[in-house]
Amino acid sequence: MIEGSPAKRPASKRAPTLRDVAEHAGVSFKTVSNVINDYEYVSETTRAKVKRSIAELGYIPQNAARQLRTGASNIFTLSFPSLAFSYFSGLAQEIVDEAARQDLTIVLRNNSAGREEEMKVLTGFDHRLGDGFIFNPLLVGEQFIADLEEVRQPTVFIGEHVPTDRLPAGSDYVRIDNTRAFVELTDHVISRGRRRPAFLGSLPAPSANQPHGSMRLRLDGFRTSVATHGLSVQDAPVVAVDHWHRLDARRAVNRLLDSDGGIDAIVCGNDELALGVLAGLRDRGRRVPDDVAVVSYDDIPDAQFTSPALTSIRPDVLQIARESLSMLTERVRGFDGPPRTVTVPHYLIVRESSPPTVHLP
């Protein structure tokens, strides 16, 4: 479904042009062009003066952007926090493959260096490649995005950590309903007879404080399901980890069992955590799903090869790729409407790590 963003934006200032830079530096239009394109026959004094003007005005060269608008180039930049997680690498491959089917080229920008790198995506950086971004933010913070009047290039946000009611002008958002997904995931284990579920994957601040962060949305879904089934939310443990990695989860499940040995289901924040949980349960001699059911989110390729195979929510990554590329292409070709939000489907993939159906009294 597509929803128009209700937020209204004040009119934004015109972006500085190459001619603005020329006037500011007191040089010709051609000289500025020569500096931007690293033409060697420009004096160092003139080059320094033009670069100062570029920095002071906040001008960002758009050679590649002009090429794309005229059809000479079909380049988009895919900006991810990291490819170390299987989900991100799999989604990146899906976007690259779908782009190739549409005769588009994807350039990958890895923001694993941290928040400053993510900020550059939204505020601009020198010599941009391509004419638009598919951007999965993680560390930049929702408030930073909400405070932007507009993005410097057409941008489609994906993933979480996005202020859904405060998208900058020139951007769109492709999302998955994480809360609904975790309601369904938790409903699944409770409906199969489990009465002592735990959530594993709570994160420390500032991640925990982001209203639309992955962990918070998924924990909300878990708690909603627990309450809906008449179980005590206070008696449903929430287990913290430092990071969403396998080793963190293996350690965390041991802490959980030491403090509450009666847990009969663990709802994991993602599949990476679930793999660590399965290892931790083996360490403690707990059988899955006989003693403890384990369910999760992402449905990474490893999920079907674990022992037992992992029940997981599968986001429709192909639809994410198609919607992202479609909306970004529309922006690049001139669509100037308000920010749009598209919610793509997800599917519960039931495997052996959750128990068979039971008939409750």
Give the start-to-end residue ranges of the domains of the chain.
2-15+62-176+318-346, 179-315
Q: Which residues contact 7 (CB under 8 A, 6 or more apart)?
A: 165, 166, 167, 339
Q: Which of 221, 223, 199 is nearest to 212 (CA)?
A: 221
Look at residue 128 in the predicted model and tell me its pLDDT: 56
Place of tokens 């200032």: 13
- Helix or strand holding residue 30 (H, E): helix 29-36
Look at residue 70 in the predicted model and tell me its pLDDT: 43
Check for a shared fold between 2-15+62-176+318-346 and 179-315. yes
Candidate ranges 34-48, 107-121, 209-223; pick with highest mean pLDDT? 209-223
Q: With respect to CATH, is domain 2-15+62-176+318-346 assigned 3.40.50.2300?
A: yes
Cα angle 165, 159, 177 (rounded to 5 degrees) comes to 70
- Residue 268 confidence (pLDDT) above 90: yes
Look at residue 5 in the predicted model and tell me its pLDDT: 44
pTM of the model: 0.79
Among 59-68, 151-160, 195-204, 291-300, whose mean pLDDT is lowest? 59-68
Look at residue 233 in the predicted model and tell me its pLDDT: 96
- Residue 1 confidence (pLDDT) above 60: no
- Residue 258 confidence (pLDDT) above 60: yes
What residue spans of 135-262 are helical by DSSP H? Answer: 142-146, 178-190, 214-228, 246-259
Look at residue 62 in the predicted model and tell me its pLDDT: 56
Q: Provide DSSP, 70-137.
A: TTS--EEEEEES-SSSHHHHHHHHHHHHHHHHTT-EEEEEE-TT-HHHHHHHHH--SS--SS-EEE--
Please state which CATH number belongs to domain 179-315: 3.40.50.2300
- Residue 35 confidence (pLDDT) above 90: no
- Residue 127 confidence (pLDDT) above 80: no
**Average pLDDT of 304-325?**
96
Among 180-184, 206-210, 217-221, 235-239, whose mean pLDDT is lowest? 206-210
Backbone angles phi, psi at 27, to 5 degrees: -130, 180
Judged by phi (left if over 0) then psi (alpha if -120 to 50, else beta), residue 230 lies in left
- Residue 360 confidence (pLDDT) above 50: no
Candidate ranges 1-15, 112-126, 289-303; pick with highest mean pLDDT? 289-303
Which residue has better confidence, 2 or 217?
A: 217
Q: Which of 309, 344, 298, 299 is nearest to 324 (CA)?
A: 344
Which residue has better confidence, 54 or 123?
A: 54
What pLDDT band is residue 100 in, cutting at 50, 70 and 90?
A: very high
